[in-house]
């Protein structure tokens, strides 16, 4: 009997609760909405889809921030350096689903080399490119060491990202507020001249245009020349008017600037490596979303630097052949001449050591020895 009474009371309570739940005179308590009316659970975000044409190994980005990058350089549109900048702009935009926009300004449109260097440090320009050395900062003067390597392959091996020299150089750039994105040799500086130089002795008295870099001036003086700093934009006219007899640059640079029109000879002095590098404002680099920074590093290492190195060699060969076809005479110096240049460059190397420090010179020498032995 007690069980029957308990069962009856339980059923009565159920019916009473049902009646209260159906009442429309009072608002339902929080979180008591019927299951059919509950908000659907949030669905997991779909995985990021790789943009069409994404190459193997390229990181897939998930960030959607819009990023604008200004790249300024002083080469003209016909050079490999400018074409590499355009390739970088195209691929960064494509691989980021259109979220990273790079605008390239060639020909010094935004300023001279020193002005661009200052702009990237201040952050008004995000990327600059070009050669390195004392023109960028005295601490980088070790790149101005004359007769440093015997070949471009040697120079390329010295500055691979896993080398001590690369890490040291990155540290120097970081101290200047910059991130070195990548760097490769882009040919030797050779000498174009209106005076025939067929031996080391013939260098004596040569009036040569140089950059306003103490080390450059020092080694030309040590070789008996009369170095004169002239702005790059005024070099053609200075050669044409005979204010200087000669200048130094890679073949492609000489040809792109049409200096062969006002020069008779190319002398293969092979005296210093031209470096082609990319440098970004360090704060801007560090503040990029992690996946954008990973993408940038991948594009530079896997697409831009190999392109620069390979295409620069092709462009230099083509430029030299074009100048020969147009009548310029090419002069090769002897091994003995190169030895004399190396030995007599001691005053310049001493100046470089004072500016860059003995540690830098020791790391440079070790890198060169390792590359030559490989």
User: pLDDT, tens digit, for every residue of 135-181?
Assistant: 889 999 999 999 999 999 999 999 999 999 999 999 999 999 999 99
C-alpha triplet 77, 92, 298: angle, nearest 5°: 105
C-alpha distance from residue 356 to each of 19, 77, 141, 163, 176 (Å): 90, 33, 6, 18, 14
In a domain? residue 19: no
- CA 47 from chain center: how many Å? 32
The whole-angstrom distance between residue 365's C-alpha and the CA centroid of its chain comes to: 24
Tokens found for residue 199:
């031996």
Quick check: is 306 in a domain?
A: yes
| Residue 62 CB-density burial (10 A; 0-12 exposed, 13-18 middle, 19+ buried) | middle
> In this predicted structure, which of 16-20, 219-223, 251-255, 325-329 has the lowest mean pLDDT?
16-20
Domain count, the chain: 1
Residue 25 in any domain: the answer is no
Range in 11-25, 41-55, 111-125, 151-165 with the lowest mean pLDDT:
11-25
Least confident stretch, 12-16, 197-201, 274-278: 12-16
Q: What is the pLDDT of residue 200?
A: 98
Question: Considering the domain boundaries, does residue 8 fall inside one?
Answer: no
Q: Give the domain CATH number at 325.
A: 3.40.190.170
Please tell me the predicted confidence (pLDDT) of residue 6.
Answer: 41
Instruction: Name the token pair of 299.
Output: 């594009």
pLDDT at site 12: 39
Which residue bears the tokens 């950059």? 211
β-pairing, 226-229 vs 207-210, is parallel
What domain range includes position 131? 67-369
Entry pTM: 0.83
Q: Are 305 and 184 in contact (CB under 8 A)?
A: yes
Helix (H) or strand (E) holding 273: strand 265-281
Mean pLDDT of 319-325: 98
Nearest to 59 by CA among 266, 297, 284, 317: 297
pLDDT given at position 53: 76
- What is the average per-residue pLDDT within 58-74? 97
In the predicted model, is pLDDT for residue 62 greater than 70?
yes
Give the largest Cα separation in the chain, rounded.
Answer: 130
Mean pLDDT of 274-303: 97
At which residue do the structure tokens 């590499």 appear? 84
- Kindly report the average pLDDT of the chain as a whole number: 88
Give the SS3 label for residue 111: coil
User: Does residue 107 fall inside a structural domain?
Assistant: yes
Domain annotation covers residue 14: no
Mean pLDDT on 307-321: 96
d(CA 289, CA 278): 20
Report the percentage of the chain scoring pLDDT > 70: 86
**Confidence (pLDDT) at 374:** 86
Among 13-17, 108-112, 216-220, where is mean pLDDT lowest?
Answer: 13-17
pLDDT level of residue 50 (50, 70, 90 thresholds):
low
Least confident of 22-36, 94-108, 188-202, 274-288: 22-36
Confidence of residue 43 (pLDDT cuts 50, 70, 90): very low
Report yes or no on 20 lying in a domain.
no
The pLDDT value given to residue 356: 97
CA distance 75 to 131: 11
In a domain, 361, yes or no: yes
């Amino acid at each position: 009997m007690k069980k029957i009474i308990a069962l009856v009371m339980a059923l009565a309570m159920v019916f009473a609760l049902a009646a209260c739940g159906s009442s429309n005179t009072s608002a339902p308590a929080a979180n008591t909405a019927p299951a059919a009316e509950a908000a659907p659970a949030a669905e997991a975000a779909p995985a990021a889809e790789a943009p069409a044409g994404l190459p193997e190994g390229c990181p897939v980005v998930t960030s959607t921030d819009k990023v604008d990058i200004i790249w300024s350089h002083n080469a003209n549109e016909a050079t490999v350096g400018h074409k590499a900048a355009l390739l970088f702009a195209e691929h960064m935009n494509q691989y980021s689903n259109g979220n990273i926009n790079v605008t390239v300004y060639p020909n010094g449109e935004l300023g001279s080399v020193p002005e661009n260097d200052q702009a990237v440090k201040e952050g008004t320009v995000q990327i600059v490119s070009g050669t390195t050395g004392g023109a960028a900062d005295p601490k980088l003067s070790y790149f101005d060491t004359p007769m440093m390597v015997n070949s471009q392959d040697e120079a390329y091996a010295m500055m691979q990202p896993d080398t001590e020299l690369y890490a040291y150089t990155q540290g120097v750039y970081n101290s200047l507020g910059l991130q070195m994105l990548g760097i490769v040799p882009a040919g030797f500086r050779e000498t174009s001249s209106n005076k025939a130089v067929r031996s080391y002795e013939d260098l004596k008295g040569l009036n040569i245009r140089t950059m306003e870099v103490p080390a450059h001036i020092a080694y030309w003086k040590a070789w008996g020349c009369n170095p004169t700093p002239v702005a790059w934009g005024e070099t053609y006219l200075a050669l044409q008017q005979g204010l200087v007899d000669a200048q130094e640059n890679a073949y492609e640079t000489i040809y792109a600037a049409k200096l062969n029109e006002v020069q008779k000879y190319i002398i293969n002095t092979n005296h210093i490596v031209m470096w082609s590098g990319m440098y970004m404002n360090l704060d801007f680099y560090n503040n990029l979303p992690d996946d954008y920074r990973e993408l940038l590093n991948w594009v530079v290492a896997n697409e831009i630097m190999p392109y620069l190195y390979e295409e620069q060699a092709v462009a230099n060969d083509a430029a030299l052949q074009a100048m020969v076809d147009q009548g310029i005479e090419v002069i090769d110096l002897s091994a003995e001449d190169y030895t004399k240049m190396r030995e007599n460059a001691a005053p310049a190397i001493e100046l470089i050591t004072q500016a860059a420090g003995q540690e830098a010179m020791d790391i440079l020498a070790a890198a060169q020895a390792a590359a030559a032995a490989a």
